[in-house]
A and B are shown apart, each in its own frame.
Chain A
Amino acid sequence: MTVTSSAQRSPTDGRATADATEPIARAYDEAGFVSHVRATLGPNALLNSDFERSMYRRDAGILKSEPLGICMPANVEELRSIVAACHRFSVPFVPRGGGTGLAAGAIAGGRSGRAIVIGLNRFDRIEIDPQRRVAWAGPGVVNVDLGRAAAAHGLWFAPDPSSQIASTIGGNVATNAGGAHCLAYGVTSQHVLALDLMDGYGQVHRLGGGAPELDGLDLRGVTVGSEGTFGLVTDIQVRLLPTPPVTETLLVSFTTVTGAAEAVTAILAAGCTPAALELMDQGAVELTEAYAKAGWDTSAAAVLLAEFEGLPNQVRTDVEITMESVTAFGGHRITRATDPQHRAQLWKGRKAVAGAIARVAPDYYLQDVVVPRSALATSLDRVIAAAAEQRLKVVNVFHAGDGNLHPLLLIDRSEPDVEQRVLAAASAMIAIAKEVGGTLSGEHGIGLEKRDFMCDFLSEDDLDAQWRLRRAMEPTGLANPGKVLPSPHSCADMKPSLVPEGAWL
């Protein structure tokens, strides 16, 4: 990683080579593609041994599908050559960052021939302009590395997905990632000022970053969250925020999960503006406490982590109101972080969940549905029942402030028919979200995993509008095909499956 402080990153060369704009002349030609890439970029430009391909068959989710090969370009020129070759030989490509995605968005499994995975990890330059409070970050920059670089200037990057120690800014842009603090600061889209997008012809376009209004359609805005289906993001300008003067962190125990959920409602109804409101049920607390030793109360039915940031009097008032609200709903054993170290320790209990699971189960499956805040408590009970019905152990950690549930099913794949039971429980959870007016994914994305469930949440006309946007933004159809949107008109006779054709468990 290179960190510099230059004022402004120059726009990437936007010209396409003659080769890149040549219309698709041939049908899918895997052998032609491989030899062309190796001839132009060198023998190591494309990895495709059985071992190498197997390394890229998964992200952090449960689906598998192997790419035809893997490219790890060092710069925009190499990337352009690879994309031009993809176009010439009709080979689809899948952009990939840290591989921490949970919806199989960054694995192959496209519907039109085997795809290559393009790892953007070497695009890892950071340039910070502390005066203007902006930074340019390559898509391969790891989220926490941008945070550390910004902290040197008293600034920070707000999106903080739980995967942040490994997930990349490019991946955060692809999924429009949230995180614990997006309750107050908003999701990734609100922090991306501009981006460079390479289309399926190899041409780079700078989207956004100009005048704040009257400047045409918001191409930057629609690209954030497009899961690599609009092309490859090669550079990203983000907004950095000044470090808040005061932070207060509270940890509160509850005797019932419902009480905790109601307390969350009361805190928000009282006009508080917390930076984060995170809930964990007893199972989750027991799991992480044994691992992280964060001082969380394992006897409580649920534990709420509430954080407030800003100016001292505002924060104090919010904390006072929160104390009253939580007490009214059975909150007790309130721990207040005394210093930054103590705060980090309290957060460790929340952020260590995924790591802690490894102590008790070889694998896990994580859902990401969102329910309206008002339906939080009842939905949670039903989610727990759905897991129990399939004889699966579930722990719940979630962003309570915005209704984003994250039930974690702890599994051992050597158990009989466990995969079928996981899929049945997951489908039931999706049905619950739909019933209460919630949504299919809050922050992980649709990818391959949830693609066919789009039919349950969007009408045929809604999907048609999505396809119009997809076609207009990436006309070649080679960028991450088969992700996010089900084939047009396929909904009518489809029974949705979390394991679509072309992928396996």
Chain B
Amino acid sequence: MTGRDPAADIAAQLSTAAAEARPVEVWGGGTLLGRMEDATRVHGAQRLEARPGASVVAYEPVDLVITVGAGMTVHELDELLAANGQECPLDPIGGETSTVGGRVATALSGPRRLGCGPVRDWLLGVTFVTGDGVVARGGGRTVKNVTGFDLPRLLSGSWGTIGVLVDVTLRVRPRPRWSAWYWTDGPVDSWLDRIHAPVAVLTGPSATAVLLEGHPDDGADQARCAGLVEGEAPAIPGPARCSVAPGLLPTLVAELPDHGWLAQWGVGVVHFAEDSDFTRLDPLRERGDAILLRLDGGPEPDLAREPRQPEHHRRLRDEFDPSRILAPWRFST
């Protein structure tokens, strides 16, 4: 980054890239893209280092809202909020350098998604640059806002195909007063209705880990009723992950071996160890019901395939990236 205004700088780079019809890959902390096929080599893409400032743009704790540069790491954001007894439950994924912009753009689910909701539910506003170099804002800085269409949701999970994030405004909340992990080897259906609003239910080959937050006495009471035993946080296998509609999760899990995976119950994400046999997922993947992200340095066919509603995708990309320079190999349309 050379210019003073990060948005103008990104806009200039994108305008040039559009004029040269050169594809662009938006690069944050590199925690995900660094483990995928190298787009500069395979697609001749230019890497746009999107670290437009790692600073706080605005933060008034009592408003329960924060605006930060997209280049701030999730870790830095969390420390900053923690100093005020607050949090934004975008659990870091991929490592210490994972950026807020990257988390929003990829919208992968953190372990607490069951209780905290997806990334998009914490996103109130965005400043972004379109593929043709226009700097635009969407959403705002109040918790409630229906002033115009929900552009932040268009950017969330867009994987760099709609625009480059400059800054993001996030809803924050008081940090939970207490939290603890519990374990059980009983089937989820046998105890789940005795737990009110669990924050995470992570089911593995032999046992299930449950995260409870709030008041320790409530946690202890619930755990006793449901027969859960307090324990350590589970180790989440990696780096591969698979996304399926939550209703299909039981079918998928029934096919899996006795080691090397952990499923986010009620969410529909399964984490896999690197040496897993992914052919078991093929029937679901072929039907388009499961999406696999391997993060082993190889190609990512599922991210490149045609999405549902291809016409909507095509029209949205024609509007926001008329020259098709923003990661055109993803969501092929």
Task: Specify which chain B residues have a CB less than 8 angstroms from the CB of A217 in the assembled complex.
Answer: 154, 157-158, 161-162, 307, 312-313, 316, 331
Contact B291 A215 (CB under 8 A): yes
Beta-carbon nearest neighbor of B214 in chain A: A314
**Alpha-carbon distance A472/B158, docked complex (angstroms):** 15
Contact B146 A443 (CB under 8 A): yes
Does B20 sit at the interface, judged by CB under 8 A? no
What's the minimum C-beta distance from A97 to chain B, rounded to whole angstroms? 16
Which listed residue (A209, A465, A471) contacts B245, Cβ 8 A? A209
Beta-carbon nearest neighbor of A174 in chain B: B146
Contact A211 B289 (CB under 8 A): yes
With A464-B134, A466-B151 already in contact, the answer to whether A399 and B144 are too (CB < 8 A) is yes
What's the minimum C-beta distance from A167 to chain B, rounded to whole angstroms? 14
With A217-B162, A268-B62, A465-B134 already in contact, the answer to whether A205 and B290 are too (CB < 8 A) is no
The residue among B65, B145, B153, B293 with the most chain A CB atoms within 10 A of its own CB is B145
**Alpha-carbon distance A207/B62, docked complex (angstroms):** 35
Contact B137 A462 (CB under 8 A): yes
**Alpha-carbon distance A209/B308, docked complex (angstroms):** 11
Give residues 289-319 of A contacting B (CB, 8 Å).
310-314, 317
Q: C-beta contact mask, B263-275 vs A, less than 8 Å → 1, else 0?
A: 0000111000000
Does B185 sit at the interface, judged by CB under 8 A? no
One of A39-47, A80-88, A453-461 at the interface: A453-461
Q: C-beta contact mask, A165-207 vs B, less than 8 Å → 1, else 0?
A: 0000000000110100010001101100000000000000111
**Alpha-carbon distance A457/B137, docked complex (angstroms):** 11
**Alpha-carbon distance A96/B290, docked complex (angstroms):** 37
Give residues 297-333 of B contacting A (CB, 8 Å).
302-303, 307-309, 312-313, 315-316, 318-320, 331
**Alpha-carbon distance A404/B144, docked complex (angstroms):** 7
How many chain B residues touch A (CB < 8 A): the figure is 79
One of A116-124, A348-356, A368-376, A413-421 at the interface: A368-376
Contact B137 A402 (CB under 8 A): no
**Alpha-carbon distance A462/B267, docked complex (angstroms):** 34
Contact A178 B144 (CB under 8 A): yes
Beta-carbon nearest neighbor of B302 in chain A: A214
Task: Specify which chain B residues have a CB less than 8 angstroms from the CB of A488 in the assembled complex.
Answer: none
**Alpha-carbon distance A371/B140, docked complex (angstroms):** 11
Contact A226 B247 (CB under 8 A): no
Contact B319 A472 (CB under 8 A): yes
**Alpha-carbon distance A275/B318, docked complex (angstroms):** 42
Contact A212 B109 (CB under 8 A): yes
With A372-B142, A439-B142 already in contact, the answer to whether A464 and B136 are too (CB < 8 A) is yes
Contact A311 B196 (CB under 8 A): yes
Does B177 sit at the interface, judged by CB under 8 A? yes
**Alpha-carbon distance A245/B214, docked complex (angstroms):** 14
Give residues 216-273 of B contacting A (CB, 8 Å).
216-218, 221-222, 243-247, 267-269
What's the minimum C-beta distance from A188 to chain B, rounded to whole angstroms? 10
**Alpha-carbon distance A189/B117, docked complex (angstroms):** 12
**Alpha-carbon distance A187/B122, docked complex (angstroms):** 11
Beta-carbon nearest neighbor of B58 in chain A: A437
Contact B309 A443 (CB under 8 A): no
Task: Specify which chain A residues have a CB less than 8 angstroms from the CB of B158 in the assembled complex.
Answer: 217
The residue among A214, A244, A403, A473 with the most chain B CB atoms within 10 A of its own CB is A214
Give residues 237-285 of A contacting B (CB, 8 Å).
242, 244-245, 265, 268-269, 271-273
Contact B120 A218 (CB under 8 A): yes
**Alpha-carbon distance A139/B297, docked complex (angstroms):** 46
Beta-carbon nearest neighbor of A463 in chain B: B148
Contact A207 B309 (CB under 8 A): yes
Beta-carbon nearest neighbor of B246 in chain A: A212
Given A214-B108, A242-B196, 12 additional A-B pairs, CB 8 A = A178-B144, A210-B245, A212-B118, A212-B269, A311-B196, A312-B218, A373-B143, A374-B62, A403-B143, A443-B144, A445-B146, A473-B315
7 A-B pairs in the complex with CB atoms less than 8 angstroms apart:
A132-B247, A218-B153, A222-B150, A269-B61, A317-B215, A466-B151, A475-B315
A residues touching B (Cβ–Cβ < 8 Å)?
132, 175-176, 178, 182, 186-187, 189-190, 205-207, 209-219, 221-222, 224-226, 242, 244-245, 265, 268-269, 271-273, 310-314, 317, 370-374, 399, 402-404, 437-446, 454, 457-459, 461-462, 464-466, 468-473, 475, 484-485
